Structure 1
Amino acid sequence: MRKFQIIVTLLLLCSTFLTFSQQKQERAKIIITGKVIEKTSKLPLEYATVTLKNSKNPKMIFGGITDNNGDYSVEIIPGVYDVTLEFISFKPTTLTQKKLTETSSLGTIGLEEDATQLNEVVVRAEKTTVEIKLDKKVYNVGQDMIVKGGTASDVLDNVPSVTVDADGNVALRGNDNVKILIDGRPSNAINIADALRTISADALDKVEVITNPSARYDAEGGGGIINIVLKKGKNQGVNGTVIATVGDPRNYGLVTNLNFKNENFNLFSTIGYNDSKSYGNSLTDSDYLNPDGSIQKTINERTKRERSRKGLNYTIGLDWYLDKSLTWTNSFNYRKNDGASPENVFLYNYETNNDYIRNRYNDQFTYSNNLEYAFNFTKKFKKDGHKLTVDGSFSNNLDDDDSTITDYVLGDINSTKQESTLNYQTQKRNLFQSDYVLPIGKNSQFEAGYKGDFNELLTDFRVGNIDTNGNYIPNINYTNKLDYKEKINALYTQFGSKINKFSYLLGMRYEDSNIDINLLTTNDFNNKRYHNFFPSAFLTYQLSEESTISLNYSKRISRPRSRFINPFSNYSSNVNIFQGNPDLNPSLTDAFDIGYMNKWGKVTFTTSMYFNSTKDVFQFIRRPNGNYVVTTVVDGADILNENGQVIQIVGGADITTPVILSTPINLSREERFGFEFNINYTPYKWWKLNGNFNFFQSKTIGNYSYTLENNGATVYQNFDNTAASWFTRVSSKISLPYKIDWQTNATYNAPQTNAQGRSLGVLSANLAFSKDILKDKATIALNINDVFNSRKRITETNLATLNAYSEQQWRQRQINLSFTYRFNKMKNDKEKDKKPRNNQQDDGGDFPG
């Protein structure tokens, strides 16, 4: 005990000495703050440079850059300085002989655009592809050659901390409970995974990844928020880009971004057309087991897919500067896609004396039509940062999916069956939002707001048989009409302040959820009404000019939607069925995050340790549903096995195959712990490196019981499981001679276990080259997506009645060649995000000061 007391005393003395020394050093320095804006529009300039040069000692130079609010803070030694404020394509401003003897503010300074520089400057400082910030990561799409000619889904699959699986499902830090926003608003798409595959990568400006959002954001998304920001020109005059793409497999695309801006308005538009065809495949090898564990039968399923799409995406909008303080923005977006997705499935059945091959051909056609109107009013008051915004959006969406399925046993034409499916979905979504920001003093800020999100989705899913006379006979087992209505009203408030090097942001959000899940086919009407409070707290301490540490907490919610609750939404295979669960409850997550950021010259390093505790977590399971598919094989039929050998069926047979169901359920709890780090490193001017590593461990706890449909038997299962996994991504960009850029990235997703099996590790890589031509007005880029053709989802499933191995590849290797032409706009123009189209893009609620 005495030794312990001595150690504690020594530690306290050391701490006191260090604190005194630090305070003594800090007293010798002062902090100079201020704000830089664009003189004409009064909007903040991000990344403007501030340089303070001592008049008596020119070697004594201090500097910094402005943040996304145009604010800067520089620590200097007292003295007389010349202060210079600069930004690319703007006239620099210098304050000479400023006597700075105590901590003070230089106020707000406006910079004026320099028309001469706009015309003469060719090479500009470009933003790195990935900008690492303490509270989020920003991925600048325009600088990334890898995704040229690709889709928004390809873009997300290249963002640090983000992964996209073979089905197009997006996960953040390995957690797929992610809220995806487009221009700060929830996507109006019915199926977000499909929508991301129809949006051209060339229409995206940047992607913001917010792992632990504050109360200002929707509470939806237990894993965090991903905000996709579409391109919108901001330079004066007429400017834009035209991007043409050709690819193999077939990928023809044309995207045009046009913009015209003057002092009174900013007119922006994006027009995109694509015509593509991609190929995918999957295999599932299933052993069906007897009660004693012996193999009853084996089915090896092989699927070839072909997806062709023709789509048009059009956006036009207008920022109208009604006066210096009031802006009114209107935008229209129209998206139309037609496509065909034929699937050819072969099922190789192996059973004693009954080996046969079934062929199931699904001739599928899709059609979608989406229209959205959005507006924004922004009122700025006299004090910097004091503003009121009002937003609204109204959308109508239609998704139509029709298919005819032909199913027969090879060698037995009499076994042919024809089925028809229809999945008709219509959605209406209205959103209203208002936000108020009030700066208090120099370093504090108050925010409050309201949001109403009203969504109605009608899904009409039909399955039926077609008899020999062409008559349609409904299959009531797989036919359903679902009417989903969701009304969410939210209020929030938060207050933030900065005290010297310490900042805090405290918030509270309230959301009232009123949800109707009506199964019209069975007259089953269900209302879920719940309301929740979502507190958030963010604490930040600046250890030095280069390093910062933070501690964050927020409460999140994940509501089951669309395919999660729709009883039937897929019938491509009649022995492996996906089925939603209308009885799913929302899951609630408590999210904690400790972050650290440091800059050492050419290196920017961030790391974080996070812990999420989720109640009623969603989990997909596979189980038999008690039904069987019966296949009748006639006497004497000659059929082929997988090796091409002829086998004759003697006496005929009725062969039954159990139906395996995939469905989501609620489990009691999931605890997820992990850490990640990101590195941006520029060893040379011609070489840039970015690395991301994420390790996580999840522990699920819960039991589940279900009733078999054929005999009413109840089956109980325990899903307690602890799993660990990790993934890493490395990206390299090298500038070669003759203005050729070379970019490579590689991703590895490690194996992961679950309560019913595991997923295997997958390594994939992308490669790209680009060259500037026509005096840097144009660029040619060649990229190869999935160089080794290895991007797959590989899983093993182990149940009491089934052992299965599965591989799924959504798209095979893709090669694209693109041509980009810029007019009145240089390659590396710094497009300032002066006025977000929705306040959820705005960092106005970040720490003041």
Structure 2
Amino acid sequence: MKTNYLRLMMGIVSICFFNTLTWGQKGLTIEGKIQDADSQQPIPYATVKIVNAIDSAVVGGTTTNDSGQFELQVKVPNFFLELSFIGYFKDTISEFPSENGYVDLGTIYLNKSVQELDGVNIQAEKSTVEFQLDKKVFNVGKDLSSTGASALEVLNNVPSVNVSIEGEINLRGASGAQILINGKPSVIAGEQGNALGTITADMIERIEVITNPSAKYDAEGTAGIINIVLKKEEKKGLNGSISLNTGAPHNHSLGLSLNYRTEKFNLFSQLGAGYRSMPRYSENISTDLINNTSVISDGLNYRNENFYNLNLGTDYHINDRNVLTLSGSVALELEQQPSTTNFSFQDSTGNIVSTWQRTETTEAVNPKYQYDLIYKSTFKDNKEHTLLMSAQGNFFGKDQSSEFFNRIVSGSDDNSQQRTSTNFQERKQTFSVDYIKPFKKNFKLEAGSQYVIQDVSNDYAVSDFVNGEWVQDLGLTNVFDYNQNVLGLYATGAYEGKKYGLKMGLRAENTDLLTVLKTTNEKNDVNYSNLFPSVHTSYKINKRFSLQAGYSKRIYRPRLWDLNPFFNISNTYNIRTGNPNLMPEFTDSYELSSIFIFKKMSLNVNAFQLYTTDVVERIASFENNVTTTMPENVGTKRSTGLEMNMKYTPWKKLDIQGDVNYSYFKRDGELNGTVFDFNASQWSTKWTAKVKLPHNFDLEVTGNYQSKYQTVQGNVSDMLFMDAGVRKKLKKGKAVFSLSVRDVFASRIRTVETFQGNFYNFSESYRGRFITLGFSYGFGKGEAMQYTGGRR
């Protein structure tokens, strides 16, 4: 025992002596990055002091740059670093694992000091954009545009992203982006109506926009990837926030967030309940150009919902290097869809021959649940040397019944009555393994696999009321089964130096898809394997100017509703249906970006080109005054564009952020003897001004414009609309009153025209103005946050 003790002491003395000699010769080079612990935004101009451990004297130091990064040289043997910034608690670092005289501390997080915040302008309050090797990161602050908002409204404030009034998400003007939650597919980000409404603005930490994804990511999504990263509170003790919202049209909700954190456990929960009403106005004209007759309709449709959401989870820190996370969420929506549509039939002379009114009464129960089990292990040699294993399960169900009644107002047609029933169930399970191994200080290897199992069943029936009884329509009744399994394997290698970075990767995926119409026994069984390479590079010319370039190959697999041949009979003259024989799109994506950082302004300019094969387009056909729209694979599309994002802060109380996107595309294609070749362009812009007013009032105004653009059969109109909001803080930010107005002038109107040789179709829809008034209060160490379960 004594011998071992002496050996240990001699070893320590030898190490200290060797380190003293080494220090005397060259010392250490230390790098790191300082970020806000809550928002994970960089903290510029934070102070990093070198403190002598013997007498506590400051012997050197530096400050962080605009990106929160710092580098310094240390030539004293016994020291520690002290990190500080106004409004934050100080932090000290005393362990410095070095390799060849170099120490990379990675990212260091500072926590806000609540007592010091009064009267201080904290930059982390604002949503900001930062750029990484292969993505843009939008850090979500307490923007007024997020007040009383859902994830869709937050997305609509992100540069490069636009959300239509129907909830369709476009990335740089193109649909097909894959939506992820915490880096993984989720039922919340699926296509079943308003599932993203269960994510609220206060739950979102940041949104990552990956227009040219590396091979590490699922190859799904030709337009790229949008990853919504949710918050996990880092404050120890009990923290929480309660929120109350009300609005017109009806948008009432109550939300409660609770978090309890200890050294070993982090318990987090969110509970929400409310009622929302979402009206939609629509007008449609279908004209038979051969017989010169028209069917004209206009109406008001509602989606009214009572909703209940519960999210629970825990992080268990097994030890310093192993963490186990288990989380789950359940949601229930009780849905009603009352609607009234007025129809009229116009003959070739322009006279109205008959008019009738179609009413709909729909009720649905929509249960949802999700679970996540994640294990993360950090190896002893390097904190970036990690192994991540995860399992995720999702379920979405819909039990819906609808009744439709046609009441004749004038003319000779008879009254008619129909009803439908839907039993829909979707289960999705995702299993993944990711391994990251850094080599020295600049090289990193990543490898992993993912297996996704998706099973869907949709039992759909239509019945007509004939001679006093319900008779099932066998031509419209069937059971549609959809089963898709995707296996993916990937490997990437990356080098990141002070000025130059390179990342290369390859992903292999196999897709096995089977769709079955059970009643008629129609099957579509496809199996295909593909390789998806990616290359990304960056060059930092100086602190204010950088260049990035990238290439990746992507896939867009047909979604369930693209394949499902059944349709909603709300409007029997304007039908949308799926195509079970649809094939996937493939896209080659090229991108070149430049980043300029000035004292009061940052500017990002992207040039890009996308080449897509087997493009999925919705093609309309016309017969007996009925327009049927079905997705088809129609040729190729080549898009070339330019995108600019700018943020300008002329003075402390004013921020201006702008986004301009222009693309020119060439379409080549043919379907059933019809040629769809044409060239066209489209552009969009979005500008936001944020102003700090006296007495703790804040004001934000956002203006959007989307240009008119051509489609394969017609065109889509332009849109100009504005959102605005105001907020008042009380009790040092613990309490917040807010008022937001969506579509201030009710001008967000979408018009679609289809021009063909034998028919013309016109449709117009809009939702109108939405006003939300909210109050929230934070307790413990929690901050006031806004909550709503609603999607607009």
Mapped contact 1:446–1:493 kept (Cα < 8 A): yes
Mapped contact 1:776–1:826 kept (Cα < 8 A): no
| Distance change (3 Å), C-alpha of 1:36 and 1:785 | closer
Match of 1:252 in 2: 252
Mapped pair 1:663 → 2:620? no
Alpha-carbon separation, structure 2, partners of 1:566 and 1:84? 61
- Offset at residue 534 of structure 1 (A): 0.6
Mapped contact 2:721–2:745 kept (Cα < 8 A): yes
Match of 1:787 in 2: 744
- Offset at residue 413 of structure 1 (A): 8.9
Matches within 5 A, 1:39-438: 47=43, 51=47, 63-64=63-64, 72=69, 74=71, 85-86=83-84, 89-93=88-92, 105-108=102-105, 117-122=113-118, 123=120, 124-134=122-132, 135-189=134-188, 191-290=191-290, 296-351=292-347, 352=349, 355-382=353-380, 383-411=382-410, 415-438=414-437
| Distance change (3 Å), C-alpha of 1:513 and 1:299 | same
- Offset at residue 622 of structure 1 (A): 1.1
- Offset at residue 566 of structure 1 (A): 0.5
Alpha-carbon separation, structure 2, partners of 1:607 and 1:282? 38
- Offset at residue 285 of structure 1 (A): 2.1
Mapped pair 1:774 → 2:773? no
Match of 2:10 in 1: none
Aligned residue for 2:733, secondary structure, equals coil
Aligned residue for 2:663, secondary structure, equals strand
Aligned residue for 1:660, secondary structure, equals strand
Aligned residue for 1:146, secondary structure, equals helix
| Structure 1 unaligned regions, length at least 5 | 1-29, 629-657, 706-715, 830-849
- Offset at residue 141 of structure 1 (A): 3.8
| Structure 2 unaligned regions, length at least 5 | 1-26, 52-57, 786-792
Instruction: Write out per-residue CA displacement over residues 150-186 of structure 1, whole angstroms, 9 at most, x where no aligned residue.
Output: 3222222222211112321111001101101122221
Q: Which residue identity does 2:322 align to in structure 1?
A: L
Aligned residue for 2:153, secondary structure, equals helix
Alpha-carbon separation, structure 2, partners of 1:687 and 1:32? 38
- Offset at residue 591 of structure 1 (A): 0.5
Aligned residue for 2:194, secondary structure, equals helix
| Distance change (3 Å), C-alpha of 1:203 and 1:93 | closer
Match of 2:529 in 1: 531
Aligned residue for 1:196, secondary structure, equals helix
Q: Which residue identity does 1:255 align to in structure 2?
A: G
Alpha-carbon separation, structure 2, partners of 1:528 and 1:261? 49
Match of 2:485 in 1: 487
- Offset at residue 757 of structure 1 (A): 1.1
Match of 1:823 in 2: 779
Instruction: Write out per-residue CA displacement over residues 484-514 of structure 1, whole angstroms, 9 at most, x where no aligned residue.
Output: 0010111110000124511100011111111
Alpha-carbon separation, structure 2, partners of 1:74 and 1:826? 33
- Offset at residue 720 of structure 1 (A): 1.1
Aligned residue for 1:143, secondary structure, equals coil
- Offset at residue 546 of structure 1 (A): 1.5
Instruction: Write out per-residue CA displacement over residues 255-288 of structure 1, whole angstroms, 9 at most, x where no aligned residue.
Output: 2211111111100111111201122101112321
Mapped contact 1:768–1:783 kept (Cα < 8 A): yes
Instruction: Write out per-residue CA displacement over residues 729-776 of structure 1, whole angstroms, 9 at most, x where no aligned residue.
Output: 001110000100000001000010122111111100001000001342
- Offset at residue 125 of structure 1 (A): 3.7
Match of 1:846 in 2: none
**Between 134-143 and 795-804, the greater mean CA deviation after superposition:** 134-143
Q: Which residue identity does 1:259 align to in structure 2?
A: N
- Offset at residue 372 of structure 1 (A): 1.3
Mapped contact 2:286–2:761 kept (Cα < 8 A): yes
Mapped contact 2:353–2:411 kept (Cα < 8 A): no
Matches within 5 A, 1:742-757: 742-757=699-714
| Distance change (3 Å), C-alpha of 1:798 and 1:518 | same
Instruction: Write out per-residue CA displacement over residues 49-94 of structure 1, whole angstroms, 9 at most, x where no aligned residue.
Output: 6657899xx9x99543597xxx945499999999753366332449
Mapped contact 1:305–1:341 kept (Cα < 8 A): yes
Match of 1:603 in 2: 601
Aligned residue for 2:501, secondary structure, equals strand
Aligned residues: 740
Match of 1:835 in 2: none
Alpha-carbon separation, structure 2, partners of 1:427 and 1:381? 38
- Offset at residue 45 of structure 1 (A): 9.6
Match of 2:458 in 1: 459
Mapped contact 1:282–1:807 kept (Cα < 8 A): yes
Instruction: Write out per-residue CA displacement over residues 693-727 of structure 1, whole angstroms, 9 at most, x where no aligned residue.
Output: 1001221111111xxxxxxxxxx311112120000
- Offset at residue 36 of structure 1 (A): 6.0
Identity of aligned residues (%): 29
- Offset at residue 136 of structure 1 (A): 3.0
Matches within 5 A, 1:336-735: 336-351=332-347, 352=349, 355-382=353-380, 383-411=382-410, 415-469=414-468, 471-624=469-622, 626=623, 628=624, 658-705=625-672, 716-735=673-692
Alpha-carbon separation, structure 2, partners of 1:529 and 1:748? 42
Match of 2:32 in 1: 35
Alpha-carbon separation, structure 2, partners of 1:303 and 1:621? 24
Aligned residue for 1:580, secondary structure, equals coil
Match of 1:652 in 2: none
The alignment yields a C-alpha RMSD, in angstroms, of: 3.2
Q: Which residue identity does 2:390 align to in structure 1?
A: D
Alpha-carbon separation, structure 1, partners of 2:705 and 2:76? 53
- Offset at residue 480 of structure 1 (A): 2.7
Q: Which residue identity does 2:609 align to in structure 1?
A: F
Q: Which residue identity does 1:310 align to in structure 2?
A: N
Alpha-carbon separation, structure 1, partners of 2:750 and 2:139? 27
